[in-house]
Amino acid sequence: MSRRQTETPGKAGPAGRFFYISEILNRPVVSAAGGTIGKLHDLKIRLNEPYPPIVGLAVRKRRFPKLGEVEWAAVERLDAAAIRLSGEAEKTFPSPATASDEIWLREELLDKQVVDTSGAKIERVNDIHLLSVNRDLRVAHVDFGWRGLLRRLGWLRLTDKINLWLFDYRAEEKIISWKYVQPLMADPDKKKLKLNVAARWLRTIHPSDLADILEELDRTNRSSLFRSLDLQTAAQALEEVEDPKLQISLIESSPVERASDILEEMAPDEATDLLAGLPADQKDRLVRSMEKPSAEALTALLQFKEGTAGGIMTKDFFSVSEDTPIGQAIEEFRATTYPLESVAYIYVTSGDGRLRGVATLRHLIIGEPNAPIGRFMNERLVTIDPQDDVGDVADIFKKYKFLAVPVVNKDGRMEGLITLTDIMEERLAG
């Protein structure tokens, strides 16, 4: 099945595409016929939504220093070459103006200093992260990092190449979701803006931020954005969406093959919870569209009732047979892509697949490469039955302080794993 994503062209460019304001400032503004009118000088936003839309453009016209304003509704297309206007937009260019709930990004935000709510940290706005979704262009994040400044100066690619070559290092992005910047409060001379957030929130883009955007957008824009995401990003964002009804809505808005691919990219327990909320016929179609290993794993998880250990366990765990050499176990461990909690312990099995013991990363490090891992395992196991009540599982975690506990069936074979995060989320949801 296909794993490739295609971009959907829209009025403002590809749907669901992120880019920076520095990448489009001074871009040519052209007429419907292709003639150059001027260059983009600024973008105006309306502060009425968590991720405010662009509502106007300030254009510096050719051979005239005076700026003219164009409504965003008149933009026919924004692409790498130019900003193309409709025919109607070419007739009039009033002087730029702002209402009380509007600001110009370049003029009033870019290069301005901001302080956090405690006043303890001063930052400079070096760039602004924009999101093109459906027919809208919206502000998503504010960039405070050195990468933003280098990007504006045109030095970012060269600096990255030099740092990677000399130091095997690349500077991290330092951005913050716009929702934490609102409301903007300016002093009279607009030299300083105050953020509605503590400095600790400054961080790189995270799937949870994308989930926030999905939750705030209307149904049409939400579906358009979700369809445009690559499979891994879509899966990560979907896991972060807190509302189960919204999760289901997003999956239902996707074609069957794409929806099944997204579910395969999700953590098995998260995918199972989502599937459990779908009608039986829709659930069956999605499972049938999956690759066989994923389909079998999710089908096995779906058989367990809600509120049981089997209902919240994950199939993501690392296991090796007891006669596996330490060196080989290390190589296999390096190849895993499971979440960190799922590989906190190494589960050791017998030749017939029964769980025999558990080892830790420390055992892998100190053991001789040729020594079998079974020599270092702890055989005093604490296990959970798939039918155990979630409340009883929580008591086990409370008593033993484990990061994860194996789920073992009556034949002694490991069915899955419950992590500390799994049980905490389940208890909080309950």
| CATH number of the structural domain 319-429 | 3.10.580.10
Q: What is the predicted pLDDT for the residue at 204?
A: 40
Q: What is the pLDDT of residue 189?
A: 47
Residue whose token pair is 């933003």: 148
Cite the residue boundaries of each domain of the chain with CATH code 2.30.30.240.
Answer: 9-104, 105-201
pLDDT given for residue 16 in this prediction: 63
| Cis bond before residue 183 (omega within 30° of 0) | yes
Q: Which amino acid is at 77?
A: R
Q: Maximum Cα–Cα distance for the chain, whole Å?
A: 83
pLDDT of residue 393: 94
Output the CA–CA distances (angstroms, integers) from residue 179 to 27, 243, 253, 277, 389, in the order listed: 28, 19, 26, 30, 39
CATH architecture of structural domain 105-201: Roll (2.30)
CA distance 312 to 319: 19
HSE toward the beta carbon, residue 226, CA cutoff 13 A:
32
- 264, two tokens: 């395969």
pLDDT of 413 reads 94
Match 């164009």 to its residue by tokens. 70
Beta-strand relationship, 28-30 and 83-85: parallel
Question: Where along the chain do the CATH 3.10.580.10 domains lie?
Answer: 319-429
Let me know: does 53 contact 80? Beta carbons within 8 Å: no
Q: 280 - beta bridge partners?
A: none
Average pLDDT of adjacent 10-residue blocks, the chain of 430 residues: 34 63 91 86 88 91 79 86 78 78 87 60 79 85 80 74 65 74 50 47 57 77 77 89 92 94 91 91 94 90 89 90 94 83 89 92 88 94 94 92 93 93 77
Q: How many CB atoms lie within 10 A of CB 63?
A: 5
Amino acid letter, 287: V
The Cα–Cα gap between 166 and 385 comes to 53
User: Tell me, what's the pLDDT at 186?
Assistant: 47
| Amino acid letter, residue 122 | I
User: Residue 170: beta bridge partners?
Assistant: none
Number of other residues whose CB lies within 10 A of the CB of residue 120: 9
* Whole-number pLDDT of residue 165: 65
Q: Which residues pair with 10 in a beta bridge?
A: 13
Angle between helical axes of 244-252 and 219-228 (0-180°, round to 10)? 70
CA pair distance 152, 174, nearest whole angstrom: 15
Q: How many CB atoms lie within 10 A of CB 118?
A: 8
pLDDT of residue 405: 95
Helices (H), 71-197: 105-108, 146-153, 156-167
- Give the pLDDT of residue 229: 78
Assigned CATH class of 9-104: mainly beta
Q: Is 331 in a helix, a strand, or coil? A: helix
pTM of this structure: 0.54
The helix-helix angle for 244-252 and 268-276 (nearest 10°) equals 90
